[in-house]
Structure 1
Amino acid sequence: MTEYEKMMAGLAHLPAEKELKNMRKRAREIVFEFNRTSPNDDETQNKLIRKLFGQADETTSINAPFHCDYGINIKVGKNFFTNYHCVMLDNGGITIGDDVMFAPNVSLYTVGHPLDVELRNEGWEQAKPITIGNNVWIGGSVVILPGVTIGDNVVVGAGSVVNKDLPSNVLAFGNPCRVVREITEQDRENYLRTYQPDR
């Protein structure tokens, strides 16, 4: 297996290998161009993201600056939006559903390093995928760790560190992140009342 194949299979691999280094160089060039593109040039920004990501379309919207390792391992659905300073270390693959939005400073880390110092100093690492469902809102400065799956219709509160899977239809927050409660129809009613007090 190549080091890239090992990486994508979740096996220990050496990121300093030539193929992986070249892939990261390609991503950095595109990211550099994206981050210095005028914020009013939506067409060029979107074109660069579609070139960078493994899956994106004309509805993808990203506020610069943005950073990632490979880009090609990121797949986003319809109407994906992320605010400023998003970081996606996509070594293990990141899959995001439709109608997902990130607040500023959201970080997705699919990769980690050995606890053993000798192995860590030899340059080994291992990656696990992150999967996010449809209709998810991730609050500001949230960190999502390797191997996490987040279900549909989830809201993750600001400042959370998500180290375990979250089921669908829940509000979750904290460090470590935990499910606080289900999101229900009552949340819709409560929100609408703030704009229509006579409801």
Structure 2
Amino acid sequence: MNQNQPNTLPPAYFDHVYEANRDPWNFETSPYEREKYAATLAALPRPHYAEAFELGCSLGVLTAQLAGRCGHLLAVDVSEAALAQARARCAALPQVELRRMNVPAEFPTQQFDLILVSEVGYYWSAADLTRSADLLIGALQPGAHLLLVHWTPPVHDYPLTGDDVHEFFLAKTTEAGPLRHLGGQRHETYRLDLLEKR
């Protein structure tokens, strides 16, 4: 954990980032992102999910690709600037619902058969990661999938690393835990872990 940044990064942090650059992480153009999105979609065991939830959808690049596998996809972000781009990108996808939401302070009430936490967990403090994990696990139907995908090198601004996030969830896959680990991949700068609600 980053002792210099013990708090969850606030929505204003992301608003400033998107004001400075409309695509700050090159989601639209980066070969790294394109390969990672392909690996993310390929890791999903089912061809279709009735109810899916994507945290931190940003500009909606992955959202638009995931939508074809979903009956209904709730995609949320803390940044209105990012969501404006996501709304434009997903305008022709009626199954996509985009909402401004600051998890864990705000959380949807429905149950899901897929939750995707991609490049968002390391923005939480350790306490908010714990709260978020409890909410996420509670929102999974039995047999539902939780897919984690995160950049692994440390970033000085972020409270946690991708490894911190994944190891936290993997600790819940013991025999008595609420999750089962179905498989994982470690790439040069990111990792992916697929979990299932018991």
| Bin of the TM-score, shorter chain as denominator length | under 0.3
Bigger Rg, structure 1 or 2: 1
Task: Choose between structure 1 and 2 for higher RCO, CA contacts under 8 A separated by at least 6 residues.
Answer: 2
Give 1 or 2: higher helix fraction.
2
**TM-score, with normalisation over the residues of structure 2?**
0.25
TM-score of the aligned structures, taking structure 1 as reference length:
0.25
